[in-house]
Each structure stands twice: as structure tokens, then as C-alpha cells.
Chains A and B, each alone.
Chain A
Amino acid sequence: MLESLGHLPIGWLLIAPLAAAGFFAFYSGRTQIGALSTGSSISARLHSQPNYHGYFLAFSTILPAAIIFLIYLMFGDIYARSVLEGELPDYLVARGDANVSFFMDRVAEQAGLRESAVSGNLLFDSSVERFAYLKGFARAVALFVAIIAGAAGFHWGRKQLPRDFPARTFVERTIQGLLFICAAIAILTTLGIVLSLIYETVRFFSLPDGPSVWEFLFGTDWNAQTGQNFGAVPLFFGTLMVALLAMCVAVPIGLFSAIYLSEYASPRFRNWAKPALELLAGIPTVVYGFFAAILIAPLVRGFAQWINALPFTPDTLLAAQPTSALAAGLVMGIMIIPFVSSLSDDVISAVPQSLRDGALAMGATRSETIKQVVLPAALPGIIAAILLAVSRAIGETMIVVMAAGGRALITLDPTSDITTVTYQIVALLTGDTAFDSAKTVSAFALGFTLFGITLIFNVIALRVVERYREAYE
């Protein structure tokens, strides 16, 4: 009985009785008050409308039960696992933690299947049965407690419902609380990111085969896949190089596009050109990666070979690799154009018209007005836009994964293949992810660095944007 309960995919089933109980409580609360108010003008003297009494009763029923379910969701599996792990035979425990947790993962997965197949391995099958039993037990307890909690909440709520009970105030406060929790999820996400990155990074530096912080930040030899060399300088260098190449494309094109669109273009032209530019931002990065690898990288290579073949250059001047920093940088630049242009467009449009009118009235041409009045006024905002774009370029993944190669080199040759922080994170964490080798955990140290750098850029940029917005409002 408990075993079959443990096998059930119960997560979705829990929502149904919860919703049913909520509806029942709602109608019960509403009719209770409704019964009081029919036939007389008593409803005018109620503090809240009948609906609110319904909501109040529904909340007071659902919330306690939901909290119990949440607790079960968080701790149910952990409970079943820890009990079962304590019961495992000694010879399995003696094989080490990694083996035990692998075994437990397989047991949990098997127990989660609806039809329990018999594998023939006696220990495994009995563990699956036991796990399902424990899970079923935990579920039964959770269900029981939840029913009691819900019933108690319902009972309490009904007792609170004489006619002058301020049900609306109560309901609105509860809703506000829920809204606040939702808003705080953003903070929780940040906390989750920061804590998990810090935790794994600290673990990385304390692993016996992990490097020291100094070695990681300033070492020039990176070979995480096969060796144990974790000097990340080539990665930082490659990231910087691709980002720089991208900005060389994105900043002039984006800025001039923004200036043209906001200062010169007719409204009709603007109406179709702006969405076209924004289309560039809507294309998934994996598509850009494909474009870079299939079309641009061979072009870059051909160009490099042509330069090498010129009579006055040495034949080995450029590396001319099939994948290259230049190919990735060029395409990333195209991808970033709309970021630069739409943000710059916003700040340029925010410059008060009176400044332009003043300059034009003094006899300046439009380009002189733009260069000497509008751009200086918009400069902080434009710099912020560029900073945001740089942060975007540093964190971009798929284009470099598909078009920049993977060799950890420090070279100024843009036609050579290089590697970046994001490329290495993907390479290290795709495939098997046992979280105990320095190889996989090093991805988190890289991620932490990436997060830190982009955060600095973002904070500065957002600050500038905000100040700037205040200055003209």
C-alpha cells in the first residue's frame, strides 16, 4: 500500500485536492455570510463583501496545508534517502561515498517510475522497494498532517467569521504578503547564485589537486580537461579579445545607427528600420553561432590565407585556423549592435530638444549639433550602454563555443583559435558531472569570476543610467 503510494508521480496530484479544498472553503465562507445577509439589508452592515469571507476561508484552509506540502517536497526525499542509506549493507558503504550516492540516485530514479521493473539484482530491487515504502510513508504522513492542518485552518477561519469580521483587510494583507514573497524571489535567486558559486569556488581552491588562488588568477597554463593546470589567464585573455573585437564592430555601427535613426531618419523609415534592428536581438545566439561557424569562419580563414600568400608578408604571419577569435568576435559584434543602438537611441532621444534648438539657432549644422551638443550631453548614457554591451559580450556563450575553437592560447593573432571563460565552463560541465573532481568544480570558479566581472560592469552602467535619467527629468 505504502509502496504503491511511493511509486506514484504524486507532485501533480497534490495540486488537485488543494484546489478542491480551496473552492469548497471559498463557497462555504461565502454562503455562510450570504445566508446571514439574505432577506434583510444586513449586507450593508457587513464589514466586507461575501466574496472576501470566501477568500478568507479558502486562504485559511489552503495555506497551512500548502506549507505542509512544501515541507514534504523539501525534506521528503532527503528523509527517505537518509534512512535507506543508514540501512545499506556495510560492503556497499565501504566502497566510498561516490558509489553510495550513485547507487542511491539509481534507486531513486527506479522508484520514481510507475511500473517497477525487476532488475534481478536482489540488493537493488529490495532497496527500490524499501525506498518506495519510505517515500510512501513520508507522503502518507505529509498527507495526513496536511489534511489535519487544512481542517484546523478551516475550523479556525469559520470561527473568525461573524458578520463584522474584517475579512477584506485580512485577505488583502495575506495577498500583499504573497506578492512580497514573489518579489523577494529575485533576491533569493541572486542569493542562490552567489552562495552556490562561492561555495563551489571555495571547495575548488581547497581540493587537494586544486590550484591556489594566485595560480588560478595569474597562471598562464590552462589544461583542465586532461592535466591539472588551472592558470586562467589565457581564458581571460581570450574572453577580452573576443569582446574587444565584438565592440569594434558593435560600437561604431550601433552608435551611428542610433544617431541616424533618432536625428535624421523620417518617422516612416524609423518605423521599419528600428524593428529590423531589434530583430537582430531576437535571434537566438545558437543561430549566430551556426552562422559564424559555417559562413564567417571560412571567410576569415580564406582572408588570412590570402594575406599570408601576399608577396610582402611571411607565409606564417597569421594562423588562419578554421575557427577563430575574429569570426566569433565579428558575429558577436553583429549580435550586440541592437543593444548599443537601442540604448543609445533612448539616451539620445532623452536629450532635451531645447539644447538642439539652441545649437541650430546659433547656425550649427545638424552634424555639428550632434557632435558638439547632443553627444556630449548623452555621453554618460552612451558609455553606460557600451558597458552593458561589454558585459553582454563577456558572458556570451554559444557563439564562442561554436566558432572560437578551444585552445588556451595567449596570442594577438585574431585568426588563431582561442578559448574563453564561457567556452571552458560549457566544456567542463557538459557530459559527466561528478561534483568531486577539480575539473568540474573549476567551472564554478570560472563562473564566479565571470559573475563578478559582469556584475561590476552592470552596477556601474545601471548607476550611470539612473543618475542620468534623474538629471533630465
Chain B
Amino acid sequence: MSERNLSPAMATAERLRKRHNAEKRFKLYGQIALGIAIGFLALLLGSIASRATTAFSRHMVEITLERPDLAETSNITVSGVNGAVRDRLLEQFPEAQTERTARSDVFSITTRLAVIPLRDRLRANPEIAQDPIVARLALSDDLDLYLKNEIRRHRSEPLGPAGRLSQTEIGLFRLTAAGPDGFIAFQDRIQALGEDRQDILISLSGAWFEFEAVSGAVLILSHLAGPLPELGEQSNAQISATHLNSRSADRRISNRQIGIVLHLLERGQISRRFNGSLFTSADSTYPELAGAAAALIGSLFTMLVTALLALPVGIMAAVYLEEFAKKSRMTRAIEVNINNLAAVPSIIFGLLGAAVFLNTLGLPRSVPLVGGLVLGLLVLPTIIIAFRAALRAVPPSVRDAALGLGASQSQAVFHHVLPLATPGILTGAIIAMARALGETAPLLLIGMVAFISDIPASPNDESTVLPVLIYKWFSGAERAWEPMTAAVIVILLTVLVAMNLVAVLLRRRFERRW
């Protein structure tokens, strides 16, 4: 329908309708754009938070140590304590004693270094070793992840009461059914699955077996963990089959380890607890033992140096440029310079630090002192711009009044303008420090990415900072690093949000309208 065929009035109405539609569309574009931006923000925060939740808890295995040999002080080393733990594990799983792979399966449910907190406790007061000690050790990261994610996907089915259990000549076990139907239904299902069958574990009164084959009323099993029932007796206990979600070849943990963990879980020896070491431990090569404490302290020291450099210099520079500087070519050059410097990519400051602080001045690598200096120079332009805005917000009448009463210019500035600008200056300072706290790239170039296993004691000790720790853990190979990384991000974002809230509150509380 072209407009020529319409009467003039209708054409106008038609045009108006089109224009109003265009208006609505245009408004909609704006809403969509805002929706996308805020939607992405929500997606980002949500996806990180959901990944982080699992890292705030971890599974601990309880092992009771009764051996008096721990009482000897000479024995309180990682190896000594670890030896005692291993002895107890072998006592609990005697079937693993003979075979090498089985033994390493049992031992590797925790890492060697997991006993360090216990060792420290024993060193602090050796007398506790006289009584039985309950050692709570972090489960190794792969098992921990398995318990957190995969165990929910297990499917259990009852197979009826058990008949006799007997051992075959090649080390396998035969289990007969007590019921009249045998395992026929189970056998049919196994056959129907064919090649798609995943691993199946069979449990019988606390003992865990791996399913090998089934025929009629007989299951062929291999023993994984837990005490065997009496051989050759009619037991009548319930058999249960646990269908796993994967095959042992496709995962990093063996069926025996799953059997051990399920056995310990049944006995209540494994429990899920708050992961306190995330806040109290330094970095580790084992995700289940790693913590962000060293990076937190490192960030604190770095921020301290940054604040000591950037805040006083920033205030003085802002006061000079805003209150004293005459319009000269020099002042103008400084202003242009500061504006440009504020837009220089942060990595360039890292290059400056590497070339000047490390190479020319010979300052040590990886220390918060150098990191703080680099970040101080990095935020200085932003700080100066923010402080100048705060000073500019104080009306000229305040200065005029002070000058009119005979104050010198310095007196007017330091006694009247600066105190009135303090809230604005504080707000700007906090926001700039928040920016410095999240900065990563320049610190990589001055070596703050080194592996640090001690909590730094001064700004001159090697250390790392929170954002760099995020980058490091992100690069870790084990899957357990991913939730750990997300957890550190949550910690960092919490600190940043807190800082920004303080800034907002300050502004609200002290904001003055002139």
C-alpha cells in the first residue's frame, strides 16, 4: 500500500503512526541494551558465586591415632605423623597390605602434607599424644570433588538377600543369591546395557566390591574395601548395587578409592566441614591444602605501600594544581600529562617497574614494596584527578571569605578548603585503592607471580596478591583449582564491595550541597 493512494489526512495519520512506532522501537533498543549489560553483570556474578560455593567446604577424613610412638618429640615430623596415619589406614584396610597399587590407593586418599596442621598441634603441646588423637585430614582433591559432584549421580538398586560368599582360586569372590529368582533381572539389565555399562560397585554389610560378572544366581566380584563377611556362611544381608557414572579408565580416581571413601562415609569417618584453611593457609601445590592467607597479607602490604606513596603525593599535587598553580605552560603540561597518564594501559607501568625498579635500581623481585610503588604510580593520576574534583567542589566563597579576613593563601587552603574537601578526598582515595587492589597485569611483570608458601612478615618479603593468586590458581591443572579460584574471586569482590560501600556511605554522610 503506497502513500499515493491515500487521502492526505490518512497519509499524515499513517506517517504519524510510523513515527510513533519508530519512537517505541528506539526506546526499546535502549532498554534492551541496558538489559544486556545488567544481565551480563548478573550472569558473571552468578556463575562465579555458584562455582565458588563448593570451595568453602571440604571433606575431612577422621583417623584415630592411639599409638604412643607419636609422643616422642623426635618423631613429630611430617613423615613421622604420616607414618602413623598410614599404619592406622592399613589396619583398617588390611586387604590392601599385600598389593602395591591397592596400598597406594589407600594412602593417597589424603596427601602427605595434609598432616601439617596436626604436626604443628603436636609440636605445640606434645602431651596430647598420650591420649588417642582424632586426626582430621583433608581428603585429596579428586576424591573431594567426586564426593561433591559425582556422588549425587550414583544410582543404587537393591539386589535382594545374599546367600554364600566364597573365594575363587584367582582371588575373586563368588556371591550367591538367597532369593528364588537369583540375579536374573539384574543380569538382563546388564546385558541390555552391553558396551554402555559403566562401573558398578556392590556393597554387602559394610564391605564394598567391584562387580565383574553375573550369571544366574552368582555374582563374580573383586573386593575393594571394608571387612569381609564370614566366608561360606548363609548371611541373608541385603545386597545393593551402586551404578557409577563413569569407568575407572576415564577418571583420575580408581574404583577402590571410591569403595574406600564410600565405606568411610558409611562409618561416619568422612564429614563435610567449613574450609577454614582457605583463610588461614598459604599457597600449596595441593588444592585441598591451599589457602589465600599469604595473598591477603601480601595485598595488605602492597596497598599500604601504595597508599603511603599515592595519597600524600596525590593530595599535594592536587592542592598545587587546583589552588596555587598559575596558568603557565608548565602547569598546562603537567595537567595534560596527568590526563594522558591516567589512560596509559596498566601493563606499561609493569614494564616501568621491571625496567626501572628491578633492573636499574636493583630492588628485589616479587616484593610488595616494589608492587606497591608500581601501583602507586599507576593510581596517582586517577587520584590527582579525583582529589582536584573534590577541591573544586568547595565553593570559591570559602576562599574569598578566608582571604578577606586576612588569611594568606596557604592558610585559606590548609585551614579552610582542605578540611571541607576531606569527604570527597577520602571517597576518591578509597575508590582508587579499590582499583589498585584489583590490578594484576603490572604485578606479573615484576615477579609477584612466584610460588609463595610462607605468609609474608614485611613489605620486603616475597609475596603475592589476591588478583595474581586468582590468575595462578586459574592456570593450575587440577580441576579442583576452578572452585578454589572462584572462591578467591568471591573474597576479593567482597573486599572491593566493602570498600565501595564505605566510599558511598562517606559520600552520603558528609556530602554537602553548597
Contacts and interface: CB of A to CB of B under 8 A. Distances in A.
Given A256-B29, A273-B38, A430 B408 contact: no
B89 interface: no
Interface stretch (B173-181, B209-217, B331-339): B331-339
B337 A186 contact: yes
Given A193-B348, A455-B340, A183 B34 contact: no
Contacts of A257: 30, 33-34, 37
B410 interface: yes
A192 B334 contact: no
A210 interface: no
Contacts of B439: 284
A247 interface: no
B97 to A, nearest CB: 43
Contact of B341 (A9, A77, A189): A189
Given A186-B381, A273-B38, A450-B348, A294 B341 contact: no
Interface stretch (A119-127, A213-221, A274-282, A317-325): A274-282
B482 interface: yes
B489 A282 contact: no
A458 B343 contact: yes
Interface in B337-380: 337-341, 343-352, 354-356, 358-360, 362, 364-365, 377, 380
Contacts of A109: 364
Max count, chain B CB within 10 A of own CB: residue among A108, A109, A171, A187 = A187
Interface string B435-459: 1011111001101010000000010
A108 B362 contact: yes
B185 interface: no
B325 interface: yes
A183 B325 contact: yes
A443 B351 contact: yes
Max count, chain A CB within 10 A of own CB: residue among B25, B47, B320, B349 = B320
A11 to B, nearest CB: 9
A257 B36 CA distance: 10
Interface stretch (B137-145, B151-159, B268-276, B467-475): B467-475
B445 A429 contact: yes
B496 to A, nearest CB: 6
A398 B41 contact: no
B19 interface: yes
Interface stretch (B69-77, B124-132, B249-257, B311-319): B311-319
B347 A367 contact: no
Given A367-B26, A398-B471, A77 B362 contact: yes
Interface string B400-425: 00000000111000000000000000
Interface in B16-43: 19-20, 22-23, 25-27, 29-34, 36-38, 40-41, 43
A392 B343 contact: yes
A182 B441 contact: no
B67 interface: no
Given A425-B445, A433-B358, A462-B339, A182 B44 contact: no
Max count, chain A CB within 10 A of own CB: residue among B25, B340, B364 = B340
Given A186-B380, A391-B343, A366 B23 contact: yes
Nearest to B492: A284
B90 interface: no
Interface in A435-455: 435, 443-444, 447, 450-451, 454-455
Contact of A178 (B38, B316, B474): B316
B500 interface: yes
Interface stretch (A60-68, A136-144, A285-293, A409-417): A285-293
Given A290-B486, A368-B19, A175 B410 contact: yes
B438 A286 contact: yes
A451 B348 contact: yes
Nearest to B29: A256
A285 B441 CA distance: 9
A284 B343 CA distance: 16
A285 B438 contact: yes
Interface string B255-273: 0000000000000000000
Contacts of A252: 33
B345 A277 contact: no
Contact of A454 (B345, B362, B435, B437): B345
A185 interface: yes
Interface in A331-370: 334, 337, 341, 365-368, 370
Contacts of B334: 183-184, 186-187
B112 interface: no
A276 B334 CA distance: 33
A336 to B, nearest CB: 11
A182 B29 contact: no
A261 B38 CA distance: 13
B438 to A, nearest CB: 3
B48 A291 contact: yes
B427 interface: no
A402 B352 contact: no
Given A430-B445, A462-B336, A186 B325 contact: no
Contacts of B26: 367, 370-371
A279 B42 CA distance: 11
Nearest to A463: B336
B474 A430 contact: no
Interface in B35-65: 36-38, 40-41, 43-44, 47-48, 51
A402 B471 contact: yes
Contact of B500 (A282, A366, A451): A282
Contact of A179 (B317, B340, B467, B470): B317
A93 B280 CA distance: 46
Given A186-B338, A253-B37, A459-B340, A282 B434 contact: yes
B493 interface: yes
A367 B316 contact: no
21 contacts: A112-B460, A176-B320, A178-B316, A193-B351, A256-B29, A257-B33, A277-B38, A282-B434, A282-B435, A284-B439, A287-B493, A291-B44, A395-B347, A395-B348, A401-B441, A425-B445, A429-B351, A429-B445, A430-B449, A433-B447, A444-B351
Interface of B: 19-20, 22-23, 25-27, 29-34, 36-38, 40-41, 43-44, 47-48, 51, 312-314, 316-317, 319-321, 324-325, 333-334, 336-341, 343-352, 354-356, 358-360, 362, 364-365, 377, 380-381, 384, 408-410, 434-435, 437-441, 444-445, 447, 449, 458, 460, 467-468, 470-471, 474, 482, 485-486, 489, 492-493, 496, 500
Given A183-B325, A260-B34, A458-B339, 10 more contacts: A176-B320, A197-B351, A257-B34, A290-B485, A290-B489, A368-B22, A425-B351, A433-B354, A443-B351, A447-B348
